[in-house]
Each structure stands twice: as structure tokens, then as C-alpha cells.
Amino acid sequence: MSIGTANSTPAIAVRDLHKSFGKNEVLTGIDFHVDQGEVVCVIGPSGSGKSTLLRCVNRLEEPTSGTILIEGVDITDPETDLAAVRTRIGIVFQQFNLFPHLTVLRNLTLAQRRVKGRSKAEAEEVARRNLEKVGMAGRESAYPAQLSGGQQQRIAIARALSMDPDMMLFDEPTSALDPELVGDVLEVMRTLANEGMTMMVVTHEMGFAREVGDRLVFMDGGVVVEQGDPVEVLSNPQETRTRGFLSKVL
């Protein structure tokens, strides 16, 4: 749970963010923040802009206008070393994006060696430590095709952790998984949250948001409609749009 303070610089601060794809405005003036050590879960209907917001946070999507600060650094400033800032941000997608021709260990060490400049021995030590953290110790020599979807997603989380990020972004990390595989991935995320990892989680898993989130943000139509304590928002939503959405998913 959150270890941030009112005086600390937010891990993520988004100000008046707009994003359009052609004439379609997907984000319409978003103000959003995640404090250091906070777990913020973002929910909303398909097409509400939540995944676009997450992808803008590390400039995978180019904002149309607005400002995005990562630990106080403006990543929308052309002078900013974007690659350096991105090393602080781990990201896990719906699809696992593992290299199919590489073993698990190689998947975890490749970026460490190329981006972090670690030796083979150091990178492998870090990789093994993170594989153990996600419950995948002993699978170093497996190839992605030999693993279930849930196992591949846990490998993807371990790969992101091996870069020593300050924060983790999760874009619906369980939506591509069979229902019986979801729990193992959520358990890994719950452990990270308990260890104080700053997390922004776009999710449909309302139970996870209620139990683990420090704050729940409901988006619809490219805006933040409502936010607050997850238990409060889920049990007593104040906005009509929030009530309508939750009545369909709870």
C-alpha cells in the first residue's frame, strides 16, 4: 500500500493531456497522478482511453498536447533523454511480448546487458532472483512456447523487474489469460504492491482493485469521471456513469 507523502514528488503527473488519432479525440484533458509507492487501478469501459493514458505515460503513444512528468522530469520536453527516463519504468502488456527464439534466461538478460551494461554473470543473477520472486525458478532454460500464458506473463513481469524500475505499469495484464491462470499473476502483483512498488494498473479485476489498490480511477469518454478509495468507489459510486458501468461488471 501507499508509502507516498504529501510532500514527495509524484512518480507520475499528467496535466491537461490530450490524445487524438486523426479526428478521434481519445483523451480530452486528463489530469492524473500516481504518488510514490501508490497503487492506482484504472477501470472503465472499452474505448474509454485508459490504455492510451497508460501508453502515453512512457511515450509509447505520442501525446497531442499536455505535460507528463516522471519523478519530476518532463518527458514531453524534446530536450529530455527519454531513453534514460524509460529505464525507470517497467511495463507489462496484455500480450507477453517474449522473444520466442530465446530461453527464459536470455529473455531476462538481453536488455539488462544491452541497456544496463551488466556482465553476463550479474544479469543472470538478477534474472534468477526475479524468477524466484514470480514463482518461476527452475524454468530458466524453457522457451516461451513451452509455458502457459500465466507462466509467460509472470516471466514478462520478471523481465521488467530485472531492469530495476522505480514504477510498474500494467495494461490489463490478465485479460488474455484463461480464468484459472489469472490468480497466479495477480498474486505476483499483490506481492509487488506489498513491497511498496509504485504501480499503475489498467484492469478489469475489480477484486484486485478493491484489495490492493490505494486509489481507483474510473475513466469514460477520455476523461476521469470519478476517483477515490477503491472500496468507496465500488460500493458507493457518486457519478451516474460510474454506477452504470459498475452495474454491468460487478
**pLDDT for 210-223, tens place per residue?**
999 999 999 999 99
Residue 58 lies in a domain: no
Residue 21 lies in a domain: no
Distance, in Å, from the CA atom of 250 to the CA atom of 248, rounded to the nearest integer, reads: 6
pLDDT of 155 over the 70 cut: yes
Distance, in Å, from the CA atom of 187 to the CA atom of 184, rounded to the nearest integer, reads: 5
**pLDDT for 127-152, tens place per residue?**
999 999 999 999 999 999 999 999 99
Distance, in Å, from the CA atom of 11 to the CA atom of 71, rounded to the nearest integer, reads: 5
Number of structural domains, the chain? 1
Which 8-state DSSP code applies to residue 232?
H
Residue 77 lies in a domain: no
Residue 19 lies in a domain: no
pLDDT of 5 over the 80 cut: no
Distance, in Å, from the CA atom of 74 to the CA atom of 147, rounded to the nearest integer, reads: 39
Residue 109 lies in a domain: yes
**pLDDT for 112-124, tens place per residue?**
999 999 999 999 9
Return the C-alpha cell found at 215.
Answer: 486509489
Q: Domain with 182 in it: what CATH number?
A: 3.40.50.300
Answer for the pair 12, 69: CB distance below 8 angstroms, yes or no.
Answer: yes
Any idea how long the chain is? Answer: 250
Q: Under DSSP, is residue 247 helix (H, G, I), strand (E, B) or coil?
A: helix
Distance, in Å, from the CA atom of 179 to the CA atom of 75, rounded to the nearest integer, reads: 37
Residue 101 lies in a domain: yes
- Cα–Cα nearest to 168, from 178, 158, 176, 177: 158
Residue 82 lies in a domain: no
Domain that holds residue 147: 36-46+87-247
The partner residues of 68 in beta bridges, in order of sequence, read 14
